[in-house]
Amino acid sequence: MELEANEFQNLLTLPMAVITTKDAKGVDNAAPYGCVMPVLKPFKVIALASALPRHTLANIRDTEEFIINIMGKPGFKESMSCAKDYPEEVSELEEVGLETVAAKKVKVPRIKKAIGWIEASLKEEILREDFSIVLGEVLKAEINEEYLESDQLTEDPLTMLNGEFRALGDSVSME
């Protein structure tokens, strides 16, 4: 089946990640993002794409810190609820009931139920008319010990393909 050029996303899996940030006033922010990727090994750089405007992007610009929380089934529904358009002064994490833990290298909170965390600082922003690519220097990457047994993950990170979230081939429902 031939796809239109703008339908190429139907061939690529996207990670279920929630970006947490903190604004200049100290209000925590959280938003689901799928367009996240490492930038070539062995560099310690991670990239994310963001539509304009977004509270997350504004916070990264202001504080130059963010965390990519890699999500699995635990916390999935609450994480997706962070996508609602909350006012700037409202913490999505508090509104949806996602518990946080302190980060190791940045002031931004980690989501406690995340499978892993990538703490980063803003390295560069590539701004275009309709979107922005944020390059972050990875300061700390860690797997949540809660999901490790004999150094093996017991919970799979979620990915999205063609509008459905999956964990190793199994569809994951929002309900």
Each residue's pLDDT tens digit, 130-152 = 999 999 999 999 999 999 999 99
> For residue 9, is it within any domain?
no
Structure tokens at 45: 């750089």
Residue-range definition of the domain harbouring residue 154: 15-172
Q: What is the distance, to the nearest Å, from the Cα of residue 173 to the centroid of all Cα atoms in its chain? A: 19
User: What end-to-end distance do the CA atoms of the chain give, in Å?
Assistant: 31
> For residue 2, is it within any domain?
no
Please check the confidence at residue 106 and state whether its pLDDT lies above 80. Answer: yes
Please check the confidence at residue 13 and state whether its pLDDT lies above 60. Answer: yes
> For residue 1, is it within any domain?
no
The confidence band for 174, taking pLDDT boundaries of 50, 70 and 90, is low
> For residue 8, is it within any domain?
no
Number of domains observed in the structure of the chain: 1
CATH of the domain at 120: 2.30.110.10
> For residue 87, is it within any domain?
yes
Instruction: Say what the pLDDT of residue 3 is.
Output: 81
> For residue 4, is it within any domain?
no
> For residue 77, is it within any domain?
yes
Please check the confidence at residue 25 and state whether its pLDDT lies above 70. Answer: yes
Phi-psi region for residue 40, left (φ > 0), alpha (ψ -120 to 50) or beta?
left
State the average pLDDT for the chain. 91
> For residue 5, is it within any domain?
no
